[in-house]
């Protein structure tokens, strides 16, 4: 089944008999509340307000999306009156219950025969609070809690005109379904309250810009300007004057004084994207501004105090740049008191399908008509692809498929050929050593044997091998590429 905003509507979870598993005969009210272990595991306390909660249900290749808002209780089990049906023999008829009230989500094991796993911890006849990124396993069914962390206005302009600092282009719904992403957003939410300079690392297209915007929105400066500067997009000769402004007569053509991006961001936030591309001179100037909290315009003499929160981002390995003296060590330490790394999309498996879904819905709303579904094998293909261009590449791929499918279900053949062949390899991939080749052969044989032993069931094969199903799917895609 494709990812859809489907909400199972049959039955009611509200009746008291629905709270008791008929095999365990343990009434729900005997459950105890166990301590919150989620915080230790995932540290999500920063994101508690589940204003737009989703549940992604994965069972083998089958994916579905449940919007939790609008219903208080969700019964999970094999029974016909369950709202979330998990249909394998491991699952009790009335296995567990989700409750969503006052912005908090809890899961209760209803005395099920085989128990409920929450982030790998067994839950028996007990209730725990869960949040974005938490994974509840019931039999073969995986339930991933997701939310829209926020809604930010995105602009793809490479630089921001100070006179139009909040230029907007489109709205971005931020999906959080991956535990690591949830951790990143939770930590950014905490640091947002302070003046601390934040350095965002991550591959190109992974969502650094989106995170920086959310940081600003969570900060006490949210109603002040957010000025976004792409340091790679401004010619080196102009960068200084653009950032710090200039006085009349500072250079030929400077016929009037002009404030720079820093001044445009007064009281707000400046987001210096691609900070690794700053020239040596601009690095010195920036360091001075950060140290003294004041700037001097080009051609000026008097310092101007600046009250600006600084957020930087780069896809570069800045530490390596420091090692090779391309980036000043003192500036590096000045901008990195709080560093976060946005994980690459290939490691955010649950988010791949949700984002694809969001992109399809947006495209459909642009052209009118119902949004097409994404075929299950296309979802599997998207999940197995390594996404070197991350979310940006996924968005483009979905758009391509949307056009090719012409209103019908998006199938594998509608996606760009490099995604179908899964051929996107890192550009500087070194040739494989003979030992590595041998290891790969043994690994492949072991995986194939495990799949055969489990009658083709990938979930059980992964469990037998002690690896995640995601790793298994990734490896199989790799073998397909090698063949
Ligand atoms: N969680 C998300 N939900 C929806 N769209 C997203 C999300 N993350 C990123 N995008 C979209 O993907 C594209 C790339 O994101 P973004 O510009 O934030 O990446 P980046 O890491 O800053 O890229 P670059 O390194 O090239 O500057 C944008 O169009 C953005 O709106």
Per-residue pLDDT of the chain (483 residues; tens, 9 = 90+): 222 222 222 222 222 222 222 223 233 333 222 222 223 223 334 444 455 677 777 776 566 667 777 778 999 999 999 988 888 889 999 999 999 887 788 999 999 999 999 877 888 888 998 877 778 889 888 888 876 655 444 433 323 333 333 434 445 667 777 778 878 888 898 899 999 999 999 999 999 999 999 899 889 999 999 999 999 888 877 888 899 998 887 777 777 888 899 999 999 999 999 999 998 988 998 999 999 999 989 888 889 999 999 999 999 999 999 999 999 999 999 999 999 999 999 888 778 877 888 889 889 988 988 888 888 778 878 888 889 999 999 999 999 999 999 888 999 999 999 998 874 444 433 344 444 555 567 678 778 888 888 888 888 888 888 777 777 777 787 777 666
Tokens representing 142?
Answer: 């995986």
> 272, 313 in Cβ contact below 8 A?
yes
Give the atom of ligand 1 at the shortest distance from the alpha carbon of 395: 12
3-state secondary structure of 115: coil
CB atoms within 10 A of CB 456: 9
The tokens of 224 are what?
A: 């002040």
ipTM of the prediction greater than 0.95, yes or no: yes
Q: Could you give the 3-state DSSP secondary structure of residue 147?
A: strand
pLDDT recorded at residue 171: 59
The CA-atom distances, in angstroms, between 174 and each of 178, 205, 338 are 12, 14, 22
d(CA 163, CA 229): 13
Residue pair 147/47 in contact by the 8 Å Cβ criterion: yes
Distance of CA 57 to the CA centre of its chain: 18
Crossing angle of helices 349-367 and 390-405, rounded to 10°:
50
Of 154, 152, 98, nearest to 127 (Cα)? 98
**172 C-alpha to center of ligand 1: Å?**
9
Q: Which residues line ligand 1 (CB under 6 A)?
A: 154, 172-175, 202, 204-210, 273, 315, 355, 391-392, 395
- Radius of gyration for the chain, computed over Cα atoms and rounded to the nearest angstrom: 26
Predicted local confidence at residue 42, as pLDDT: 31
For 444, half-sphere exposure in the C-beta direction (CA atoms, 13 angstrom radius) is 14
Q: Give yes or no for a contact between 97 and 110, defined as CB atoms under 8 angstroms apart.
A: yes
Question: Which of 157, 168, 172 to probe ligand 1 with, by most ligand atoms within 8 A of CB?
Answer: 172
In sequence order, the 6+-apart residues with CB closer than 8 A to the CB of 168 are: 153, 154, 155
Residue 286: the pLDDT is: 92
Note the pLDDT of residue 4.
26
Phi, psi of 423 (to 5 degrees): -85, 5
Separation of alpha carbons 104 and 106, rounded Å: 7
Which protein residue's CA is at the shortest distance from atom 17 of ligand 1?
209
For residue 388, report the distance from its CA to the centre of ligand 1, in Å.
Answer: 13
Angle at 223 between CA 221 and CA 229, to 5 degrees: 70
The pLDDT value given to residue 178: 76
238-241-242-246 Cα dihedral, nearest 10 degrees: -140
What is the sign, positive or negative, of the torsion defined by CA atoms of 179, 185, 190, 196?
positive
């Amino acid at each position: 089944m494709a990812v859809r905003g489907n909400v199972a509507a049959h039955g009611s979870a509200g009746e008291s008999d629905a709270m008791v598993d008929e095999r365990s005969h343990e009434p729900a009210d005997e459950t105890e509340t166990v301590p919150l272990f989620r915080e230790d595991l995932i540290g999500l306390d920063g994101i508690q307000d589940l204003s737009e909660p989703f549940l992604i249900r994965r069972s083998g290749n089958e994916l579905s999306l449940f919007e939790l808002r609008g219903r208080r209780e969700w019964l999970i089990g094999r029974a016909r009156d369950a709202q979330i049906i998990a249909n394998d023999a491991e699952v009790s008829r009335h296995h567990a219950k989700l409750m969503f009230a006052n912005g908090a989500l809890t899961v209760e094991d209803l005395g099920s025969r085989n128990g409920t796993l929450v982030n790998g911890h067994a839950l028996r006849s007990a209730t725990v609070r869960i949040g974005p990124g938490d994974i509840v396993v019931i039999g073969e069914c995986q339930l991933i809690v997701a939310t829209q962390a926020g809604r930010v206005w995105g602009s793809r302009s490479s630089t921001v005109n100070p006179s139009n600092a909040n230029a907007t282009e489109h709205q971005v719904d931020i999906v959080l379904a991956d535990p690591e992403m949830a951790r990143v957003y939770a930590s950014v939410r905490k640091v947002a309250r302070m003046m601390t300079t934040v350095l965002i690392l991550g591959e190109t297209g992974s969502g650094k810009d989106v995170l920086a915007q959310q940081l600003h929105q969570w900060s006490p400066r949210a109603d002040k300007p957010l000025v976004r500067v792409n340091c790679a997009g401004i010619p080196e000769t102009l960068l200084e004057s653009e950032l710090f402004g200039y006085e009349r007569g500072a250079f030929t053509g400077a016929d009037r004084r002009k404030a720079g991006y820093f001044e445009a961001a007064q009281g707000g936030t400046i987001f210096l994207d691609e900070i690794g591309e700053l020239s040596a001179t601009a690095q010195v100037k920036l360091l001075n501004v950060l140290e003294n909290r004041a700037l001097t315009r080009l051609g000026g003499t008097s310092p101007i105090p600046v009250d600006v929160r600084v957020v930087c981002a780069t896809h570069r390995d800045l530490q390596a740049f420091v090692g090779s003296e391309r980036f000043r060590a003192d500036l590096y330490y000045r901008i990195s008191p709080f560093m976060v790394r946005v994980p690459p999309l290939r490691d955010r498996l649950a988010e791949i399908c949700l984002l694809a879904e969001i992109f399809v819905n947006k495209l459909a709303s642009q052209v009118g008509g119902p949004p097409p579904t994404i075929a299950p094998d296309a979802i599997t293909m998207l999940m197995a692809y390594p996404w070197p261009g991350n979310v940006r590449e996924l968005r483009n791929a979905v758009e391509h498929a949307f056009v090719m499918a012409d209103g019908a279900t998006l199938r594998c053949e509608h996606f760009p050929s490099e995604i179908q062949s899964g051929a996107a390899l890192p550009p500087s991939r070194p040739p494989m050593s003979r030992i590595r080749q041998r290891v790969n052969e043994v690994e492949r044989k072991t995986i194939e044997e495990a799949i055969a032993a489990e009658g083709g069931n990938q979930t059980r094969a992964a469990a037998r091998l002690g690896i995640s199903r995601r790793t298994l799917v990734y490896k199989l895609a790799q073998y397909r590429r090698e063949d």
